[in-house]
Structure 1
Amino acid sequence: MAVTDAVPRSSTAGAEQLRVQVDANDAAVREAVVGKLRHGGIVTVCDRERGPGTVVVAAGGTVDEAIDACRSTLRGGEYRLLVVADVLSRGGVLRGVRVGARAMLQSTQATPERLVAAVHSAHHGEGRLPYGVLVTLLGGAAEARAAAPQPAPGAVPLTVRQTEVLSLMAEGHGNAAIARALSCSEHTVKNVIYELMARLQVRNRAHAVAHAVRSGLI
C-alpha cells in the first residue's frame, strides 16, 4: 500500500522527473520513509498512478519483509526497486538482488539526503550497494553492521565533509549523486575528493575507499 504525498511537483526539478511509490506493511515505517522523501523534495504516488520507470521504495525490518510488502507491485514487472531495511542479512540481500533491487539502504543510514540519492541511483539503474552490503555479500559479516568503525591508531583524521564524501564514494555514488546528497555543487565534491586523496596519499577513488576502510575512517 502506497502513500500519496501532496507536495506540488514543481517544488524541485528532481521531483518532476521522478515517480516514487512507498510500500511497507507497517504504517509507521511507511510514514517515516515518506516524510524523509518529502523533506528531500520528492513526491510519492499511489498505486494507480504508478507507471513505467516508477521507483518503488520497499521498507521493512528485513529485506524479506520489505519485498513481501510490495509483492503485488513486483508482479506487475514495471518497477525500479529500492530496498530500505533495518537488517541487511546476506540471504536477504541475495533475495533483493534476485528480484531486481537496484539499490539497498540500511534504515540507520537512511537520512533524507542519502535516501534521495538512493532513489536517484535506482531511477538511473546505477545498482548502488552500501559498503556494508558488499561486505555481507562477500561473506565478511553475517549481517551489515550499523556501528561506526573506530579509526586505527595513527590514522590521518578527516574533516566531517571529507568523511561524508568518502562514505558516499564507498557506497558507489558518483560525483553528481554525492552533490545531490550533500546539497552542494559537483565542483565542491571534486575539490573535497582532491583534498582527501592528498591527505590520505592515495592514487584514486578505489584506493581511497580501501585505505579508509582499513584505517577505520568509515
Structure 2
Amino acid sequence: MKAANWLKKSLVVLVSILTFGLVTPSDFQWLAQAENGKSPKKDSVQEADTQFLHNATSYKREPVKRELFVEEMLKKAERNSYMKFGEKINVKIGDEFKEVILPKMEETIDQIALQFPEEELIQLAISEKPATGRGEKIFHIYNETTNEDIIRFHVRQENPPQKGYWFNFHYHTYHDQFITHYELGKLYWDKNTPPKWADNAYLS
C-alpha cells in the first residue's frame, strides 16, 4: 500500500517536471476520485467475503435430544434385526425378540447415550446392513467423524449338547476394545440347525 502511494506521488512530480508545471497536482484529482469510486465496491466484496467466512465457521449441526436419539436408534436396531433374521427366522422368534431382547437393547443404547453430551450425539450413527450367512453382526453404533465403533450388537447361534439351538444376543463396547461379551438374552430355536441369516437379496 505504501509502495502504491509513493509511486503515485513520484508520477505527479515527474509529470509536473516534464510539463514545466503546466499540469499541477490538482489536475490529478480525477485519479483520487477514480480510486474512491473503486473502494466501495471493493469494500462490499470484502464485507461479503467476511460474512461468508463467518457463516461458514459459525455453522453447527444442531444437537439432538437424548430421548430422540435413543428412539431413532431403537427403530433402526429393530429394522436391522428383522433384516438379519429373514422371513424364516423372523416368523419363529420375531415376537419373542421384540418382547425380550429389544427392551434390553433400548436400555443399553440409553446407557451409551448418557456417556456423551447431547451436542456429540449427532455424530453417532448406526451401520446399515447386518452380517449375512453365519456372521454375528446385527448393527454397530459408530462415530461418523472418526469412523470408530462405539458399541457392537451381535447374535450368535449356539448348540449346547442335548439342548438344541439357541440365539445368543449380546454386545461389545469400545471401553475394552470389544473384548467383553455382555449378554442381552437367549432365544430358543429348535433341535434342528437354523437357517443362515438373510442374504443380500433379502436385504435389498
Normalised to the residue count of structure 2, the TM-score between the two structures is 0.23
Flag the structure with higher strand content: 2
Larger radius of gyration: 2
